[in-house]
Structure 1
Amino acid sequence: MGASFKRRRRRTCLHDVGAAILFFGTLTQQTELRQAAKIALSELALRGYSIPSEDDPVRVFPALTNGAFSGSHAGGWRPGSIYLRQQPQGELNETVYLRHELFHEASHRTCAGKISSWAEEAGAMYFSGELAGIVPGDWPSAYELQNIKNRVRQGSELNGSDRAVLARLVVNGGWPSEACAVSTQLNDMLGGAFEDATDSSYRLVSLLSGRVLASAGDQVSRLPPGSLLKIPYAAALEHVNPDLLAAELVASDTEKLLQRREQFQDEHYRLLLSPIAEQKLPSNFELSNPQNWRAYLGERNADGEFALQATLPELALAMRAALLSRPDYFRGLSQNGLLPNSTLAGQSEADIKLLRQLQVLAKTGTVSTVDGRPLVGHLMLAWPAAHPVFMAIFRQRGVSGAGVLSKAAALLRTWQRDYPSRYAKVRVSLLTSTKTGSWDVEPDCPLVANQYRRFTVCGQFRIISTARGSRTERIVRGVLQQSGEQGPTVLETDVDSYVDGVLAAEAQNLVGSAREAMRAVIAWNGSHGSHRHNESSSLCDTTHCMVFLGEPPGDKPRRSGHVEIELMQLLDKLAVESGLNWLPFANGGDQQWQRQLSVDELRRAFAENQILDIRRERRKDGELLIRLLYPSSEELLSCEIFRNTLKLPSCPDSVKAIDNQTWQFVGVGAGHGLGLSIARAVVLAESGRNAAEILRDAYGGKKPRPSH
């Protein structure tokens, strides 16, 4: 009775599913095929899959052409429809291929988005019966396994070779029959698209120097950047209208950008992307295939793979290089979210308002499966639009680039408070008191340059100097600008890198609240000091401004930090109250010092056979200089270089010859004794005063006397 009941139940099931599958054309005459379809749907239902019904059937059509199918590929599927080639080549008949495609239909209805595409294909192979002829024990080689893992990781469509490898893996590793289940062994071997990346990560950098200001999440997984590659692609174009180009970028219009191929400079593009280690950009020969051109724009190449994958630090360096390379090309990215066809159109009004308020340049990039499902979203933001000083890269799994904006906007509101643009940059003239030709700049990594502007893709330069009293080698980070052929070389850098370079020269041993106070003073002077040299809108790198030595090469990383914005705002207030546009500081102390040096010591120090006279002079702008007179020439040095050469405590107030064999130098304290005294700051810090109290003590209600 039990057996009879089961038979009747099976016949009922077959009758029910019969109306759920509709055949068309010549397939309607194939009774055996119809019966096989009913059995397949019944089996899938018993395994827990949602199957087609009379109200929502699946349709099976004969393939109108054989051109789309290879000998080992005789079926095609899209939701609700199956295309079947009759009399397929090879040992498998159309029944096997029909079962394969019916599995895809049931999996789509039941598991859509829950399992990887390779896992669904493996399940279809296992269910269809097509693996019956493969002998167990033939495991793929390490090379074959790595190839399929790479394609799985990129979400690429599996090709014929991939399917053959996958078939051998399923035969050897087995496959579960439960709905939406995946073999644990194979899942450990192949994984899923970008599953090694965390859900969300970001990196905030100074666009000027590349210095990392904030970061979180996965920084090391290599992912394709998607349409973010349209930024370096655009930067590699020549002779374009920036407004038209920006409109194409905010819409991420691949077709219009591809029409600019004649203006594309491949060498410059590859230079901008040089920070990215893992890339397989198309060769000139491969560019004969139009699909491979799309790889330059972040899309899949002709093989269905991405030509480039980057870590977040690598991507940030490449995007920085592209934005700095052609800044005029990208100002129109501030319209993303405002223009109706832009990629951020339709996002939260509050988030778009924030982008507009901060004048943010925005570009999205989405990496999708071959059927359009987003795998990873990227978002690049840079601000303010007129002269960007900050750049952030965000990425998030499972969403489009536009979908990243909500999380990015929350961070942007925090950064708006912690990193105000008005305190973000410093312009400093390098080696202003040394002779032209006594020093040179060497890039530490690939260089991008035009006539008056230079930067490296890593942000770093090495300065080599033979000038007397100057550090022979130093590292600086930022963008170098030249004001004409004879003008000064100006380094535009972030305020924290500048502060680190000055602290190393002026007060490297400070700690605690005294160091915080000193850092704030240096940062305030740096961000307000462009009036010191009006001709180049910069400040100098010597005592008259602040000694900036950069970083000595090979040193261990310095103690670094970020200036507290509350302290900068306090200094704004104190400067206004005191009528100051510059906040002086010195090592401190008011004790007079005196030093006598012999003529021989002076000759050795300055490498001269005879020194006739030493004169102390002051320029109109207040800078102290020392003029050395020799028998047939003379030399003018900044007082800072002079005193460093002789190791004097400060710039001398008086210089005189006692006799023919001895010179006497007299000064006060270690420095000029104005404004913040480093020695007093240390005492106050040790007594428990915080940085704000130290700053009020130094500048509150007092206007320091002019520098001597």
Structure 2
Amino acid sequence: MKLKPYKRKWYKRTRPSRCLYEVGSAVLLFGLLSQHVELQHTSLNALNELATLGYQIPKDAEPVRVFPSLTEGSFSASHAGGWRPGSIFLRSQPEGELGAEVYLRHELFHEASFRTCHGVLPNWAEEMAAMHFSGELKHTEATWPSDAEINAFKHRQQQSAQLTQTDIALLKRIAVNTAWPTQPCAVPPALKKLLTNTELTSGYVLINLASARIVARGGDWRSVTPPGSLLKLPYAAALASANSSELGNELAASDTDKLLLRRGQFSDTLYQTLLSPIAHQQLPKQSINTTTDNPSAWLGERLSSGEFPIQASLPELALSLRAALLLKPDYFQGLSQNGSTPDSTLAGQAEDLLQVIRQQHVIVKTGSVSTATGQPLFGLMALAWPASKPVYLAIIRQAGVRGASLLAEAVSQLKQWQRQFPVSQANVRVHVLSLLPRESWQVDGSCPELTTQTSRFNLCGQYRVDANAQGSRSIRYFQGIFDNLPNRQLVLTTDVFSYTEGVLSAEAQTLTGSARAAMRAAIAWNGRQGQHRHSEANALCDTTHCMVFMGALQPSHTAIEPLDNHLLDVLTELAHRTNTNWLSFAKGGEQRWQTYWPQAQLTQLLAEPWIQDIRRERRKTGDIWIHLYYAEQEETLSCEVFRNRLKLASCPDTITLAPDQASWVFSGIGEGHGLGLSLSRAQALSEQGMSAEQILIDAYQRK
């Protein structure tokens, strides 16, 4: 937004007139400055102008003192003046086009604003008002700053950082194009909107720790801000060794000094890896042990320049904290006792709130970002549960408060999340790429990866796999953690939502409406309950024996689509009634098919010299079995196994021997085994107006 140019009016110097205020000894010039007659006139005129405008000006009893600058050597115009309450420091012969009189007017405005506005003006607004009053803008270029320059300035001001020379140059370019109000302590509304980050109020993200998928989010989760003391979690994870109990107490107390004593065990390389999801990083290039800057900046505090070197959105910060928790889970278990010891950051909070944290075994770390004078800019709180092996991680942020004061909000959200996303039903384990030769695929290594004794995970939260096997999907994405297995099998732990989406894309991508909702519920129920199908690995397979799962077609950066827990409860009840632990589904359809199998080929497939008869049986349970009668024995197979061996479209309705007795004829309807949920029937029922619950009852209630 560019504001219209204007003609400066009220900040032109005024001549002494009838409304001249007697300033007397209100401005005291010291040293060589006391001999500078023009400065005496300048101070007299400036104070009278300020008084006319309604500002409180220095009086004889409370004068402002003007001292010669002590700066020596060659220095720029930026060193020509300085101010702190009651004192001005001035160079009598500054470099550049502006004289000492201009700088004196500038600093006198700061003094008057301090006495009148009592610090309510943002530092940028007061600086721009002083620019207008001093007359210095006549030498300023009128080029309006770019959006990128303005956004960079806003990010710095959000941290309450001191104005740099770059900032001041930008403010001058804006000020020269902007009118300024005549009343004291006022800011042009358009400028306030332009230069203030008003959108940061409160926000949160909740992620699944295994897959890094955002499970829930709300409010302002996009804004980029300093993480405060939450950076102590990746700092701790970058320690080579530590006593978990002692470290947990130091983290709970947010004891920067004690944590810095552990610098000898700190790995800068690992720390940088843990922070790799965060785009905005300006830490010094030296290591924490050799830096000449403030080492506390590695733990979330400011650099000596007043800037915060790390700024992150909530999703970026969540990825970094996720990596720390997965890498060194033992280091952080002590944070579940935050509030139990007198020096912890939650000490003194309401006991009923702390009781919830302890009962639910929740890791809690607070963080606060404050102004240079200690006023809170915003507070943060990270929660992970359960402490023994965290499944979920939440970060809450709110403006104008300290981190510990977010406990009531956090507990309220925690109760809701635990009802909506039970830990026991959060994740699915699945053996992926099981049908592909190992030499036919490779995992993309562009994202940093970390390993523990039991698992592998990367900092992006998702893996890209490239495959060249004929007929296979060439690129697929897996969100989650891989078991660190020596046999090179890929067993993935992912969230139930990502698993459900993957199966849907492979098995039923054309379903819509309530049919899709019903299918999602069936997949999720199987994913949560079906580990028994491969108990040796405690994981599902990725083939039709379980459910086809090939990951995602493209990387996912969106929040999950929540499951309907009511539908899952309905399925649990239906499974209990029918005494089943697996909910089958098939493509179904009304298309009739017929397949001929020559007797010679079928006997060769079944490794028998002759087949005398094949019969089909539907039992009371609804299961279909195939009886094979050979010359000297018989064999019974489930229809699903039989049709898969013969590659039949579905379980056959009829099986007959051709008149010439040279072939067997198999006939059926639709695709799949015909058990449970028929996808084509579900879609038809959905289009007729049936709800997802009605479709599931139609599919799984015993007829």
Q: Is the 8 A contact 2:83 2:110 kept in 1?
A: no
Report the secondary structure of 2:398's partner residue: strand
The one-letter code of the counterpart of 1:117 is: N
Question: Match for residue 184 of structure 2?
Answer: 179
Residue 573 (structure 1) aligned with residue 573 (structure 2): yes
Q: Is the 8 A contact 1:219 1:311 kept in 2?
A: yes
* Residues 665, 264 of structure 1: alpha-carbon distance in 2 compared, 3 angstrom cutoff: farther
Shift of 1:495: 0.7
Q: Is the 8 A contact 2:93 2:100 kept in 1?
A: no
Shift of 1:98: 9.0
Shift of 1:523: 0.8
CA distance in 2, matches of 1:304, 1:204: 31
Q: Is the 8 A contact 2:288 2:298 kept in 1?
A: no
Question: Match for residue 448 of structure 2?
Answer: 446
The one-letter code of the counterpart of 1:481 is: D
CA distance in 1, matches of 2:389, 2:292: 36
1:238-269 deviations in whole A, cap 9, x for unaligned? Answer: 11223322322233322223222222222222
Which segment drifts farther, 150-159 or 39-48?
39-48
Q: Is the 8 A contact 2:515 2:683 kept in 1?
A: yes
Which segment drifts farther, 645-654 or 380-389?
645-654
Question: Match for residue 155 of structure 1?
Answer: 160
* Residues 67, 579 of structure 1: alpha-carbon distance in 2 compared, 3 angstrom cutoff: farther
CA distance in 1, matches of 2:260, 2:67: 34
Question: Match for residue 420 of structure 1?
Answer: 422
Q: Is the 8 A contact 1:444 1:456 kept in 2?
A: no
Shift of 1:553: 5.0
Question: Match for residue 549 of structure 1?
Answer: 550
Question: Match for residue 486 of structure 2?
Answer: 485
Report the secondary structure of 2:226's partner residue: coil
Report the secondary structure of 2:325's partner residue: helix
Report the secondary structure of 1:498's partner residue: helix
Question: Match for residue 328 of structure 1?
Answer: 330
Q: Which runs of 5+ in 1 are unaligned?
A: 1-5, 603-609, 617-623, 625-637
CA distance in 2, matches of 1:307, 1:559: 28
Within a 5 Å distance, the mapping from 1:227-242 to structure 2 comes to 227-242=229-244
* Residues 318, 664 of structure 1: alpha-carbon distance in 2 compared, 3 angstrom cutoff: farther
Equivalent pairs, count: 650
Residue 223 (structure 1) aligned with residue 228 (structure 2): no
Report the secondary structure of 2:562's partner residue: coil
Question: How much is the aligned-residue C-alpha RMSD, in angstroms?
Answer: 5.2
Question: Match for residue 627 of structure 1?
Answer: none
Within a 5 Å distance, the mapping from 1:524-539 to structure 2 comes to 524-539=525-540
1:487-541 deviations in whole A, cap 9, x for unaligned? Answer: 7432111111111112223322222223222211211121122333333322222
Give 1:282's match in structure 2, choosing from 281, 284, 292: 284
Q: Is the 8 A contact 1:575 1:581 kept in 2?
A: yes
* Residues 656, 150 of structure 1: alpha-carbon distance in 2 compared, 3 angstrom cutoff: same
* Residues 513, 249 of structure 1: alpha-carbon distance in 2 compared, 3 angstrom cutoff: same
Shift of 1:557: 10
Within a 5 Å distance, the mapping from 1:626-637 to structure 2 comes to none
Question: Match for residue 204 of structure 2?
Answer: 202
Residue 117 (structure 1) aligned with residue 139 (structure 2): no
CA distance in 1, matches of 2:49, 2:122: 22
CA distance in 1, matches of 2:682, 2:210: 32
Q: Is the 8 A contact 2:250 2:258 kept in 1?
A: yes
Q: TM-score, normalised by structure 1?
A: 0.73
CA distance in 1, matches of 2:21, 2:317: 58
* Residues 164, 358 of structure 1: alpha-carbon distance in 2 compared, 3 angstrom cutoff: same
1:322-345 deviations in whole A, cap 9, x for unaligned? Answer: 332322322333233444333344
Question: Match for residue 263 of structure 2?
Answer: 261
Shift of 1:426: 0.8
CA distance in 2, matches of 1:614, 1:654: 22
* Residues 557, 158 of structure 1: alpha-carbon distance in 2 compared, 3 angstrom cutoff: closer
* Residues 46, 458 of structure 1: alpha-carbon distance in 2 compared, 3 angstrom cutoff: same
1:416-457 deviations in whole A, cap 9, x for unaligned? Answer: 332222221111122445666565443563323345422222
* Residues 698, 184 of structure 1: alpha-carbon distance in 2 compared, 3 angstrom cutoff: closer
Which segment drifts farther, 60-69 or 437-446?
60-69
Residue 649 (structure 1) aligned with residue 654 (structure 2): no
The one-letter code of the counterpart of 1:529 is: G
* Residues 594, 199 of structure 1: alpha-carbon distance in 2 compared, 3 angstrom cutoff: same
Q: Is the 8 A contact 1:543 1:639 kept in 2?
A: no
Q: Is the 8 A contact 1:589 1:673 kept in 2?
A: no
Give 1:388's match in structure 2, choosing from 387, 390, 394: 390
The one-letter code of the counterpart of 2:161 is: S
Question: Match for residue 499 of structure 1?
Answer: 500
CA distance in 1, matches of 2:109, 2:557: 58
Question: Match for residue 607 of structure 1?
Answer: none
CA distance in 1, matches of 2:438, 2:570: 40
Counting aligned pairs with the same residue, the percent is: 46
Report the secondary structure of 2:273's partner residue: helix
CA distance in 2, matches of 1:598, 1:464: 40
Question: Match for residue 7 of structure 2?
Answer: none
Report the secondary structure of 1:284's partner residue: coil
Q: Is the 8 A contact 2:319 2:460 kept in 1?
A: yes
* Residues 461, 289 of structure 1: alpha-carbon distance in 2 compared, 3 angstrom cutoff: closer
* Residues 176, 559 of structure 1: alpha-carbon distance in 2 compared, 3 angstrom cutoff: closer
Q: Is the 8 A contact 1:137 1:172 kept in 2?
A: no
* Residues 666, 550 of structure 1: alpha-carbon distance in 2 compared, 3 angstrom cutoff: farther
Which segment drifts farther, 410-419 or 486-495?
410-419
Q: Is the 8 A contact 1:289 1:302 kept in 2?
A: no
CA distance in 2, matches of 1:690, 1:683: 12
1:190-216 deviations in whole A, cap 9, x for unaligned? Answer: x13x44x44233333222212233333
Shift of 1:563: 1.4
The one-letter code of the counterpart of 1:118 is: W
Q: TM-score, normalised by structure 2?
A: 0.74
CA distance in 1, matches of 2:72, 2:392: 49
Within a 5 Å distance, the mapping from 1:395-434 to structure 2 comes to 395-432=397-434
Q: Is the 8 A contact 2:68 2:92 kept in 1?
A: no
The one-letter code of the counterpart of 2:391 is: V
CA distance in 2, matches of 1:322, 1:255: 21
Shift of 1:478: 1.0
Q: Is the 8 A contact 1:82 1:101 kept in 2?
A: no
Question: Match for residue 586 of structure 1?
Answer: 586
1:297-349 deviations in whole A, cap 9, x for unaligned? Answer: 23222332232333343333333333323223223332334443333444455
Q: Is the 8 A contact 1:225 1:309 kept in 2?
A: yes
